[in-house]
């Protein structure tokens, strides 16, 4: 009995605008990624996630105003979209609007308690507020969740793109 091997020619690359947007984002082709995520959002393909990813691209392009609008649009599509909530928290934190950041991070954690990045960034806020013990606890939880995500990834159970 011989083992069958799949030829490399039969592998498919990203096919949907959303998938191609992810590839463009990973390749740091931000303008292309914005276009592809816009196409995906218009087509209703993972609309909230596409709008949020478009916002991430715009952050890389140093267009904070458009990025914030994209994160807000993502929340219109899904009010519990943890990445958009977290990114709005990040923008608030960077601007020194600590209470706004807290509201966004707490909403992200309530929406997805396993979203490690929300816990990590909430820990940054807590440290800035002088709540070092609470910050350390959040960082430990974020690390534990991130390790779980890593093992999920290795086992083929991806949590999030």
The two tokens of residue 12 are: 């498919």
- Greater model confidence, 136 or 106: 106
pLDDT at 146: 84
> From the CB of residue 117, how many other CB atoms can be counted at a distance below 10 Å?
20
Domains in the chain with CATH codes: 17-79 (1.25.40.10), 82-161 (1.25.40.10)
Q: Which of 10, 75, 23 is nearest to 49 (CA)?
A: 75
CB 139 within 8 A of CB 122: no
> Own/partner pairs for 59-62, CB < 8 Å, 24+ apart?
59/87, 60/28, 60/30, 61/30, 61/31, 61/34
**pLDDT tens sequence across 30-61:** 999 999 999 999 999 999 999 999 999 999 99
pLDDT at 152: 54
**pLDDT tens sequence across 14-26:** 799 999 999 999 9
% of the chain with per-residue pLDDT over 70: 84
* Least confident span in 50-54, 84-88, 99-103, 136-140: 136-140
**1 pLDDT more than 60:** no
% of the chain with per-residue pLDDT over 90: 73
The two tokens of residue 106 are: 């707490």
Provide the whole-model pTM: 0.82
**150 pLDDT more than 70:** no
Percent of the chain as helix, strand, coil, to the nearest 5: 75, 0, 25
| Distance (Å) of CA 100 to CA 27, 68, 93 | 32, 13, 8
């Amino acid at each position: 009995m011989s083992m069958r091997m799949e030829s490399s020619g039969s592998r498919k690359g990203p096919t949907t605008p959303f998938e191609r947007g992810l590839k463009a984002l990973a390749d740091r082709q931000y303008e292309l990624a914005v276009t592809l995520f816009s196409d995906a959002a218009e087509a209703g393909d993972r609309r909230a996630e596409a709008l949020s990813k478009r916002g991430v691209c715009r952050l890389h392009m140093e267009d904070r105003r458009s990025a914030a609008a994209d994160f807000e649009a993502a929340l219109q599509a899904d009010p519990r979209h943890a990445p958009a909530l977290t990114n709005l928290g990040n923008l608030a934190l960077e601007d020194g609007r600590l209470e706004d950041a807290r509201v966004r991070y707490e909403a992200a954690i309530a929406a997805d308690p396993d979203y490690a990045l929300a816990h990590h960034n909430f820990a940054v806020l807590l440290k800035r507020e002088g709540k070092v013990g609470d910050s350390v606890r959040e960082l430990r939880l974020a690390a534990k969740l991130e390790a779980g995500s890593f093992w999920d990834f290795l086992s083929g159970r991806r949590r999030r793109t």
